Structure 1
Amino acid sequence: MAQNFRRSVAQHREEIVRIFASVLEGRSGRPAELVSVYDAAARLTAEATVARNSLPAFDNSQMDGYAVRVDDFPESRAESASATFHLAPVIPAGTHPVALAPGFAAPIMTGAMVPEGATAIIPIEAVISAVGTEPHSFPDFSNDDYLETVTVTLPRPPRGQFIRSAGSDVAAGTVVIEAGTVLTPRHVGLLAALGIAEIAVQPRTEVLVLATGDEVQAPGETLKPGHIYDSNSAFLSAALHEIGVIPVRVSVSSDTVAEFERRLEEALAAHPNALAALTTGGISKGAFEVVKVALERSGIEFGSVAMQPGGPQGCGILEPSARHSGEHFADHAVHPVAVISFPGNPVSTAISFEIFVRPLLAAIARGETTLNAAMQRAHHQAILQLDSPELSVTSPPSKSQWRRGVVSTDPANGERLVQLLGSEQSHLVFALAQANALVNIPEGTAEAHHGDTLTVMMLEEG
């Protein structure tokens, strides 16, 4: 039987880091997945990506204008040096032009292939004069008359002017994305520009989400007397999805140990590679604490953390060989699974997830291995803003309090400022929805005043 623990927030963080590090250590690499570039954003690359083609793939025009041969101009360093040309056929983007003959200028559009022989592009705005058309407008290309009737006088350009050379952005054979890169829309655009349709990525991490309670109903159902809607599953699923983890929502369990065990066993069987299971409710000191009863026999520890809200907590590793009631609890598990149990109060669940789990799972989804660093990175300092200098906030003598707040930036000096939202009470879901940060009032704080520096955790920041 696991022993009940009493921990500080820092101690509980350290234990959860240890649990995830241990679970990850025992996992072998899973085969990479090939995904379409259209579905690749936020995925972690499994291998380096090498450009098979150059970018640009061909010399192309940077401007709408005229493609010319610089050697057709008189040799002169005078700024007024110019030459007059008959026109070659127009070159729209997406066509393969014929070679440019000496003595001709080819109308060319932005992005169009530069014809063989051309050594510079003169923008249409730079045309000195024209016969048969306006100087700064192209002639009518609807028929070929312009080839006989139009001439343009152009200034001598520098060699290579406004030509984007093949491979000037990316040369074929260049490693453009390293292995272990979290793909952004910018990466996806690069892949598509290089003609890469699929990319090898790491399989996404799966995490089970189990909310318990006879009183819990799914949103959209007609609420029975004394019941509440299941916001915990919705919050955790959305938070996991946001950091690149696949949430596996397990149907809400009733307040019976057998039902909870059955649902968890079915989920493990269906998702044998799940990294973790997050549970909500059923871990306190009530008469129907089914999560605690079911999981304690498998080595999961339960106890209290000196924090408000979110005191009751549970965590541990569910081993494939874990037994209870004479049966394998995780017969179908291929790997050890991290189990993190939160209290059932929605705000307590959300705050517990943000403090103990989000930074770790976000780092794991990014392929990071230094989990302690991920925890530290999530913390910032902000200056408390109260309505009056005479006001103050306090924390209980033996608990670290986590309040909801809004962090902004002082335009004068760039410092973070934080204002509190609502009270410290744990049921205020609306205040949590309006917040962008959690504000830590350290345990035993007699008074925190306007202008004091406090630790904050930015919400939705991994």
Structure 2
Amino acid sequence: MSTPAPRPAGQEHLWSVDEHLEDILATVRPLEPIELQLPDAQGCVLVEDVTVPVSLPPFDNSSMDGYAVRVADVAGASEEFPAVLEVVGDVAAGQASGLLHVGPGQAARIMTGAPLPAGAETVVPVEWTDGGLGQGPVDGMRARSLAPEQASGHVRVHRPAEARAHVRAKGSDVKAGDRALTAGTVIGPPQIALLAAIGRGTVRVRPRPRVVVLSTGSELVQPGEELGSGQIYDSNSFALTAAARDAGAIAYRVGAVADDAETLRSTIEDQLVRADLLVTTGGVSVGAYDVVKEALSHVGDEDEAGSGVEFRRLAMQPGKPQGFGAIGPDHIPLLALPGNPVSSYVSFELFVRPAIRTLMGLTDVHRPTTRAKLVADGALTSPKGRRQFLRATHTEGTVRPVGGAGSHLVAALAHADALIVVPEDVERVEPGTEVDVVLLG
């Protein structure tokens, strides 16, 4: 991490959403590249272009089971007047065809993926022949299940074929020297397939960041356990861990930590060894039992330059209280999010997801945005001076709010696929107005 330019600090300064995000992205740096085996590189970002060492396919090969023939020998062939060709051999996938040559009046039985033998110009599918049995096409279909020595030495071809029909040309996919993948590509299953096909066993990438998520609060109980008086289930740590994985991280969820500064401090210090980014939820407002501030002021080597977490008020709703900084001797970035479920999730989307994508080395770190027409039963209201983010569903150029504005209303979050953005200088939005929308899908 680098140290960002200083900004006005403390509770007196009301940060804008953009200021807070800019501070985060100016501080978080992409992880150092490493060489990984292909299965381990899934989800990682390439740091260098990959060129093709050998053409793909590396040789002309058949795309069908059938017979490799010369075009002139099957010209004019029909059911009534089939072309009768001498079968001079078989070519199977994985078998060299260098010793086999197809001359005038000859054919070679060929399997899908097998190299085209010398002299052959095209492939006729077995369905266009008698299968080398000297009988009709229906009986000929049985030839594919027979060993070569069981078939006759001739084949009847009932249809003509154009040159290079059913032939996969050498280099028709990619040619030697072509650029297979460019730096910045996220490696998924198709990219792994291509890398393997061109013979790459390893690739140089930025690793997926390790994100540790922990929630705080003595009232929190793990799902599956019985609730006591005044207790609620811990949903935030599950939601944010899933969100971190969705963003591309390797995420670790830590069980809820009670409202005890020493316990929280010890837990965070224990997690530093496996974290590229730490995310806490809860305990960042001005309540009497908000111990996160107290705990984070003494985590790791706080005397090191650049260490420390600053707690801020943001001009946004939900998610006004936020914290950001670096902790420990390695200056691991930490984002402290509010404890209300909607506040924590919206804060994740706005601040944590871009940080994760930056660690991965991606250039496009934000969710896509669009403009859509507001569909609502009445006007939306928003507090003056706050940027409001409302859960919504987006469909074909329109957007409709779901649930209320309360930051505890988690049920509506499960049905939302977008956030309506109401700017700081707008206090009322009428139905039919075009609004900015963040797409969460």
Q: Report what 2:174 is aligned to.
A: 170
- Aligned 1:97-136 pairs, distance under 5 A: 97=97, 99-102=100-103, 103-124=105-126, 126=128, 132-135=134-137
CA shift at 1:383, angstroms?
1.0
Q: Distance in 1 between matches of 2:129 and 2:384?
A: 80
Task: Note the alpha carbon deviations across 1:423-462, whole angstroms, 9 max, x for none.
Answer: 11111111001110111233464432221111111125xx
Contact 1:210 1:252 in 2 (8 A): yes
Q: TM-score, normalization: structure 2?
A: 0.83
Q: 1:13 and 1:220, CA in 2 relative to 1: closer, same or farther beyond 3 A?
A: farther
Q: Which amino acid aligns with 1:266?
A: D
- Aligned 1:270-281 pairs, distance under 5 A: 270-271=273-274, 274-281=275-282
From 332, 348, 354, the equivalent of 1:359 is 354
2:217 is the alignment partner of 1:227:
no
CA shift at 1:111, angstroms?
2.3
Q: Report what 2:152 is aligned to.
A: 147
From 405, 410, 414, the equivalent of 2:392 is 405
Contact 1:133 1:139 in 2 (8 A): no
Contact 2:66 2:111 in 1 (8 A): yes
Task: Note the alpha carbon deviations across 1:83-126, whole angstroms, 9 max, x for none.
Answer: 53122344444444551342211232332222232122133455
Contact 2:130 2:136 in 1 (8 A): no
Q: Report what 1:183 is aligned to.
A: 187
Contact 2:374 2:399 in 1 (8 A): yes
Task: Note the alpha carbon deviations across 1:350-385, whole angstroms, 9 max, x for none.
Answer: 1111122223422442x135xxx744x643211111
Q: Report what 1:383 is aligned to.
A: 373
Q: Distance in 2 between matches of 1:174 and 1:446?
A: 55
Q: Secondary structure at the match of 1:300?
A: strand
From 206, 217, 220, the equivalent of 1:202 is 206
Q: Which amino acid aligns with 1:152?
A: R
2:383 is the alignment partner of 1:396:
yes
Q: Distance in 2 between matches of 1:459 and 1:203?
A: 24
Q: Secondary structure at the match of 1:450?
A: coil
Contact 1:67 1:105 in 2 (8 A): yes
Q: Distance in 2 between matches of 1:284 and 1:295?
A: 14
Q: Distance in 1 between matches of 2:131 and 2:325?
A: 81
Q: Report what 1:218 is aligned to.
A: 222
Task: Note the alpha carbon deviations across 1:34-77, whole angstroms, 9 max, x for none.
Answer: 22x33433211244334343311222112333211346578x9x
Q: 1:143 and 1:22, CA in 2 relative to 1: closer, same or farther beyond 3 A?
A: closer
CA shift at 1:23, angstroms?
3.7
Q: Distance in 2 between matches of 1:339 and 1:454?
A: 32
Q: Which amino acid aligns with 1:447?
A: R
Contact 1:86 1:152 in 2 (8 A): no
Q: Secondary structure at the match of 1:252?
A: strand
From 335, 340, 346, the equivalent of 1:345 is 340
Contact 1:132 1:139 in 2 (8 A): no
Unaligned 5+ runs, structure 2: 1-7, 303-307
Q: Report what 2:4 is aligned to.
A: none
Q: Which amino acid aligns with 2:119?
A: G
Q: Distance in 2 between matches of 1:241 and 1:139?
A: 51
Q: Report what 2:88 is aligned to.
A: 88
Q: Distance in 1 between matches of 2:33 and 2:380?
A: 52
Q: 1:5 and 1:157, CA in 2 relative to 1: closer, same or farther beyond 3 A?
A: same
- What percent identity do the matched residue pairs reach? 38
Q: Distance in 2 between matches of 1:160 and 1:129?
A: 20
Q: How large is the RMSD of aligned CA atoms in angstroms?
A: 3.1
2:293 is the alignment partner of 1:286:
no
Q: Secondary structure at the match of 1:144?
A: helix
2:55 is the alignment partner of 1:65:
no
Q: Distance in 2 between matches of 1:133 and 1:5?
A: 93
Q: Which amino acid aligns with 1:348?
A: S
2:297 is the alignment partner of 1:307:
no
Q: Distance in 2 between matches of 1:109 and 1:276?
A: 53
Q: 1:2 and 1:436, CA in 2 relative to 1: closer, same or farther beyond 3 A?
A: same
Greater shift after overlay, 428-437 or 445-454?
445-454
Q: Which amino acid aligns with 1:17?
A: E
Greater shift after overlay, 279-288 or 153-162?
153-162
Q: Secondary structure at the match of 1:147?
A: coil
Contact 1:120 1:163 in 2 (8 A): yes
Q: Which amino acid aligns with 1:379?
A: T
Q: Which amino acid aligns with 1:401?
A: Q
Q: 1:448 and 1:99, CA in 2 relative to 1: closer, same or farther beyond 3 A?
A: same
Q: Distance in 1 between matches of 2:373 and 2:287?
A: 39
Q: Which amino acid aligns with 1:104?
A: Q
Q: Distance in 2 between matches of 1:295 and 1:118?
A: 75
